[in-house]
Structures are given as C-alpha cells and as structure tokens.
Amino acid sequence: MSDTQTETRKSGQEMEVQFLKGVGPKLAMMLRKVGIETVGDVLFYFPRRYEDRTKLPPLFQLSPGEAQTVRGRLLNVSSRPTRGGKVLIRAILDDGSGQVGLIWFNQPWVGRELQKIEGEIIAYGTVKHGQNRMLEISSPEWEPVEDDDDEEQFARLMPVYPLKEGVPQWLIRKAAKSAIEYFSRDIEDPLPVQVLKEEHLRDLKWCLRQMHLPDSERDQFEARKRLVFEEFLYLQLAQQMRRREVKQEVGISFPISEIGSIEASDASLFVDSEAAKRDVWEQIHAMLPFDLTGAQKRVIGEIFEDMERSAPMNRLVQGDVGSGKTAVAACAMLASVRCGYQTALMAPTEILAEQHAYNLKKLFEPLGITVTLLVGKQTAAQKKKALQATASGEAQIAVGTHALIQDGVDFHKLGLVIVDEQHRFGVMQRLALRQKGVGNPDVLVMTATPIPRTMTMTLYGDLDLSVIDELPPGRKPIKTHWKRTQDRDKVYGTVRELIGQGRQAYFVCPLITESPKMEVQAAEDLHYRLSNEQYPDLNVGLLHGQLKPVEKEEIMEAFRRNELHILVSTVVIEVGVDVPNATVMVIEDANRFGLSQLHQLRGRVGRGEHQSFCILIADATTEEARERLEIMVETSNGFRIAEKDLEIRGPGDFAGTKQSGFLNLKLANLVDDGPMLEQARAAANRILDRDPGLLLTENEKMLSEVRKQRSQEALVVVS
C-alpha cells in the first residue's frame, strides 16, 4: 500500500499536510514554521485580514495611496543592478487607458518569470507616485491571466495570513484551498444542530470555506461570527460548569443574622458571648474609624448573603484604587470570627501581606481578635509561633503570602478564605488554600486592578461579581501631569516645595540597576543622584525587590513614620503601600509601564486629606506611548483606563496570560467581540440547564473541548 493510500485512510484532519494536493514534503517543511503540520492545522489557521481585490479600475483612474487590483499587458521588463549589489526589476503595465509601473527589489526570479509572459497579468498592491511622475506599485502580488477563471480567482476577497520569515502567502493559500476542496466534507460540527438554530449560526463546513475562500464580506463576517461564538462558548461552558459545581457543594452557613440576637438558637456558635449580644452592623460601625460608602455597604450585604447560604461563596470584589476593598474584607472577617471560624488572607507579596497585617491588627486587636502574620522571611521561631497559633485557633485571622498554602500550615477551623490581588494567583493556588479549611470554606477574591467587563467574564466567569464603584467622600482627585525629560529640574523643584510643606514623595523607576540594553532610569542611580546632588539635605530611601525582607520592612516603616522624605523605588510599591502623608508620585520613564500599572502606582498617593499629584516623566516617541500618557492625564477612572489598556495591548498582554495557553483565542477579540461573549455566556447556561454534565450524545464533542479548556484554566497565573 502506498503512503498516500495509507494517509487517506486516516481522519482527514489528521492527515499530514505534505499529502495535500500541491504541497509535498519540501513545502510542508516551510508550513511547519507557522505551526501547520496537518490538514486540520491548515483548516483552522485563519487569515488575519482580507484584501478586497474585487474592483478592477481602468489604469487611468488609479489613485496614489490606495491598494488596487490592476490588469493589463506588459510593455517591457527591465533588470538592473543597484549600488548595494541588489537587483531592481521594473515593468510597465498597460491596459489601453493608461499605464502603471511595477517594481520588485532583489527578486531576480520575478524578472525571469515576467519575460515568459505573452498575455496579460493581474497584480495587486498599493499605488504610489514613482519616477517621472508615473504611478507605480512596489512588490505587487501577481499572476498571469490565461482565462477568465484566473481573474475570478485573483480578483476576489483575498485572505492574508500571519506569516513567519520564509513562508509565502501563496503557499498557505494553496494549502488552505486544497484542504477546503478535498477535506471539508469530512469535518464534523462539534456544535449540536439545536445550538446552531437557537443562535442563528451557520454550520462549521460552510464557515471554514468562507474564512479561507470567502464569497463576500458578509459571508466572511457570518463565518467569523460563528467561530468566535464557538471559542467563547467553550470558555463559558467550562466556567459555568465549575460555578454550578461549587453551588451544588455543601458549605458553611454562617449565622450572621443571628449575631446580636439574645434568643440565638445556639449560643455556642459564637466565640464571644458578649459579641453575640450586638448586631454585626453595630460592631462594624464600632470597629471602623470612618463611615462606609453606599457601595461598600451594598457589597458587604452581597457577601453576607453568600456567607449565610449553605453553598460555598465564590465571589470576586472589584474596585478601583482607594475604593475601600480592605474595609469590606475586614467586615467579612469580623462576621466569620464572630460565628466561630478562622479567616485566611493571602496576598501576592510580603510587603502587601505586612501592610494588611498592620492595618488589620489596628482594627481587630481592640476587639480581642488575634491577627497573625505568616511569610517566608520569618525566623524559625517566628514561623513556629505563627503555625502553632493557626493550628490551635488562637490566631483567628491569618495573613500571609504563598506561605499559607505550604505543607505544614494547618488551621483549627478555617471558614473564610480571602485572596487579595487575585490576578496574581492561579485557580490551583486558590483551591490549595480552600482545601485547608473546614468542609468547603467560603472564598472571597479581590482585585484593585480594574478589569474590563469582557475580560472579567473571560478570566473570572466562574465567580459572582461585586463592584465597589464609589470612592470615599472627601477624597481629592489626584492631579496628573505629563512632563518631558527636559522638565525634570522643574519637577524636582515642585517636589521640594511639597516636602517643605511637610509632605513626602515617591520616585518610581523601571529598573533597579542600569542596563546596557535599555536607556532608562535605574532606581539605584536615581537614589544616588537625589540623595547626593538634588536633595543632600533630605533623607532619601531606596526600596526594591532584591533587598532582604527585613531591610524592606525597615525602609517602609521609616517612610511610614516620616523619617524618610523621599522613597525611591521600583514597582514593588505598586500595591498595598498606604502612607497618607505621601502626596506626590514621580514616575520616571513612564512610557515603560503599562497603563494599569501606572494607575496602580498613582494610587499610592491621594490617600490622605492633602491634595496629591502624580507626575509622569517621559519622552513619548510613538503614537501608542502618547495615547497611554494622555489617557492617564485625562482621567483617573480605573475602568476607563483598563478598557484603553486592553484596546492598546490586547488581551494576552493585558491579562499576562500569553504564555499560559489560556486565552489562546484564534479569532475572538475581547475589545470588539463583547456582545458575542455575552451571547455565548447565555447560550452556555441554556445548554447546561438541559444537560448539566454535557453527557448527551450530541454534546460529546463540546465536552471534549471543555475538558481541554478547564485543564488550561487550572494552570493559569496572571502576572
């Protein structure tokens, strides 16, 4: 039996691409460069855009600056060497109404092919002004016209595929055309007929043909719509299945509404009998040194409702910088402790964990509630004491980093798990902490990084969502200014004036030390210049990730006590640092930071009663850099900034998931396809209402895709 006969017995999509008509072993090696090894790879390797070649204007009507399809006879073809030893090919195309020049640089084989042409050719490219006032097209795609079918094949909506060096467009087009013509009939649609009808979608065979060989823009649009829906559907099915599984589990029903009731059915539920005589809201008002905003009260109410249900809570609290998420979390902790359970709060960095422990101790120790810190830098004696406190139940609240999920960390009665800056952790890390609890603890995750709705639905679709969309009253908006590097001295003078008024300042740099590869401000260099040249009379501290934990803690504590006037730092202070007296943030080489990161850094000031300022120092050399800096000056709305960040950077970079395999979307775009994501979410729930486990025969293929999706999601850690 021949190799070809053996291959054709395989499933069409599994067949090696070399056996496609017109490909062969040599061309197949080129296709491997873009990840195409099988027929299935070709079918699902989609164009990144399309060129409209359907219009064939007479040459006298050509306009410079436009991409055009042209047809005519070659008057002459010339070839001459250039100064660099290259070859310039020039031809004149004539259709009787006018002429256009065609030129190719260093492609001698094109000249040889053109010399053989006796009839007409058809070409496509961008028209521009050339020599002697003649219009010309540089490096056009072209082919000879042998009959009208050739024109029909060339003058159409032409797919343009993403390429790598050495892989030409014509090769992928040829492979795709062959795959569609000979193997699309073997494709089985993973979506059931009922779903296609409900969602008004076309079948997969038709869609793949229209993606690679579109009949019209409308047909290509319809094909893309179905394929985008399918990508989103698998994401949403995976998340909604997990969400439903959690809802079906039996968790802890916290008797929060009974706190304060003398007739409580079981007084032994409450750790402190005196506390049981006071309503939980009364205790909250006594605990907090400020009034809660309406948004905070609403979110706390949503959390308490979840905690009282028998199903485990699985809720995401999203709020802009300074909206008061920590206060909301403290209220949930208080309710948990008063109901006789421990709480664990996991933060991504030691600085943030220490900040939380510092603030929570101030709130809870006057109430007789013990807060314990558990981080990697602790001495053996400190760690032993913390571990004993959590295991015995003496520590009613444990605050820590990843150290909390390590082996050997046990809890007496863990009922509430809180994960701060959720985007820094993976699903498995969240699960690992939850598994240390009693039964199925409630889970509350928080993020201070505003996330666009489409991204939230994609990354955290398995969680219930609460949004704190109101800032505490009296907060003065931070004034943000963008200054060029030549304005540095003026900026330094402004900082001195503010320090003279008793305030403190941050200076943030992209790097710790100077790099020969990047001409950007380094923290160590800036610290030296500020402390020795610019502000020799002031106390200037230096903070970065390579310092020992004890050194970091000492520096931060000195800054909190106002013993340091200026703190030079890297992004290690991006989250969690709370010094109300610091009112100015200077960000050096601000164009080197992402928008969301700039917004987080800006949020380190504006936390007290005084007017605060954020000064971005940067020379923006690109349009994208200017856009980012201008939006920072224009608004302090974190959600608007996040939308812009998503638009500029794309979902992979925005979420930090590009290397994880998660969000590996071939077609879907979270910026433009939000409505389709909403449609897929609703469809996923309808499908699961009919078949919760996707066990029906017609859902088998969807279940297979969902299993792949869930295995990818479990590993993702957003950076």
Give the CATH number for residue 97: 2.40.50.140
Statement to judge: residues 496 and 402 lie in one domain: no
Q: Are residues 149 and 270 in the same domain?
A: no
**Final residue of a domain: which of 155, 179, 200?**
155
Q: Which residue has the tokens 């590869």?
A: 517
Pair 684, 232: CB distance under 8 Å: no
Domain that holds residue 372: 256-308+323-447
Residue 465 forms part of a structural domain: no
Does residue 215 sit within a domain? no
Helices (H), 116-262: 148-154, 169-183, 193-199, 204-212, 217-248
Do 628 and 506 lie in one domain? The reply is: yes
202 or 184: which leads in pLDDT: 202
Mean pLDDT of the region 267-273: 45
Scan for tokens 């589990």, then name that residue.
249
Mean pLDDT along residues 677-688: 94
Q: Among residues of the chain, what percentage have pLDDT more than 70?
A: 89
Q: Say if residue 7's pLDDT is above 60.
A: no
Residue 75, token pair as written in the block = 């008057």
Task: Kindly state whether residues 424 and 491 are assigned to the same domain.
Answer: no
Reading the block at residue 418, the tokens are: 């809180």
pLDDT of the residue at 400 = 93
Q: How far is the C-alpha of 669 from the C-alpha of 656, rounded, in Å?
A: 16
CA atoms within 13 A on the CB side of 330: 28
Q: Is pLDDT above 60 for 276? A: no
Burial of 609 (0-12, 13-18, 19+ CB in 10 A): exposed
- Strand 582-588 and strand 99-105: the pairing is unpaired
Please provide the size of the chain in residues. 719
- 36 inside domain: no
**pLDDT bracket for residue 327 (50, 70, 90):** very high
Q: How far apart are CA 690 and CA 349, in angstroms?
A: 44
Is-contact 143 121, C-beta < 8 A?
yes
For 143-177, what is each residue's pLDDT tens digit?
787 665 555 666 678 888 888 877 888 889 899 99
pLDDT at 1: 38
Split into its structural domains, the chain has a count of 3
Same domain, 407 and 488: no
254 phi and psi angles, rounded to 5 deg? -70, 125
Residues 383 and 272 in one domain: yes
Could you tell me the pLDDT band of residue 8, with boundaries at 50, 70 and 90? very low
pLDDT of residue 713: 62
Question: Are 400 and 535 found together in one domain?
Answer: no
Average pLDDT of 116-142?
A: 86
Q: What is the pLDDT of residues 376-424, one digit of tens each?
A: 888 899 999 999 999 999 999 999 988 898 888 999 999 999 998 766 6
Query: In this model, does residue 266 exceed pLDDT 60?
Result: no
State the pLDDT confidence band at 661, using cuts at 50, 70 and 90.
very low
- pTM of this structure: 0.72
Tell how far CA 234 is from the center of its chain: 18
* Three-class SS state of 714: helix
Q: pLDDT category, 121, cuts 50, 70, 90?
A: confident
What pLDDT was estimated at residue 10? 46
Residue 697 domain flag:
no
What was the pLDDT predicted at 411? 94
Stretch 17-26: mean pLDDT? 89
pLDDT digits (tens, 9 = 90+) for 542-564: 998 888 878 888 898 899 999 99
Whether the CB-CB separation of 346 and 401 falls below 8 Å is answered with yes
The Cα 432–Cα 210 span in angstroms is 46
DSSP string, 637-664: -HHHHHHHHHHHHHHHHHHT-TTTSTT-
Place of tokens 């949004």: 467
pLDDT digits (tens, 9 = 90+) for 599-637: 989 988 988 888 999 999 998 878 888 988 999 999 988
Say yes or no to pLDDT of 716 above 60.
no
> CA-to-CA distance for 313 and 299, rounded, in angstroms?
13
The answer as to whether 146 is a domain residue is: yes
pLDDT, mean of residues 448-466: 79
Instruction: Provide mean pLDDT across the span 114-118.
Output: 85
On whether both 429 and 503 belong to a single domain, the answer is: no
Is residue 443 located within the same domain as residue 582?
Answer: no
**Whether residues 525 and 393 fall in one domain:** no
Average pLDDT over the chain, rounded to whole? 85
Same domain assignment for residues 401 and 490: no
Domain termination site, one of 135, 155, 175: 155
Range 500-505 average pLDDT? 95
Report pLDDT for 710: 74
DSSP 8-state code for residue 533: I
- Is residue 107 assigned to a domain? yes
Q: Which residues of 89-106 are buried (b: 16+ CB within 10 A; e: fewer)?
A: bbbbbebeebbbbbbbee
Residue 675 lies in a domain: no
Indicate whether 346 and 492 sit together in one domain: no
CB atoms inside a 10 Å sphere around CB 170? 10
Which residues have CB under 8 Å from 293's CB, separation 6+?
323, 324, 468, 470, 471, 472, 473
What mean pLDDT do residues 349-361 have? 88
The Cα-based distances of 139 to 49, 126, 185, 467 in angstroms read 19, 9, 37, 53
Q: What are phi and psi of 204, to 5 degrees?
A: -65, -40
pLDDT recorded at residue 5:
40
Q: Which of 635, 654, 671 is the last residue of a domain?
A: 635
Instruction: Tell me the residue type at 124.
Output: Y
Share of the chain above pLDDT 90, in %: 46
Least confident of 25-29, 256-260, 301-305, 480-484: 256-260
In this model, does residue 9 exceed pLDDT 60?
no
Beta strands 120-129; 314-319: pairing state: unpaired
Q: CA geometry: angle at 660 spanning 16 and 651, to 5°?
A: 100
DSSP annotation of 515 reads B
- Give the mean pLDDT of 299-328: 91
Match 């050997």 to its residue by tokens.
408
- Looking at residue 338, which CATH number applies to its domain? 3.40.50.300
Position 317 in a domain: no
Query: By three-state DSSP, how is residue 370 classified?
Result: coil
Give the per-residue pLDDT at 270: 44
Packing angle of the helix pair 674-690, 217-248 (nearest 10 deg): 50
Written as one letter, the residue type at 43 is L
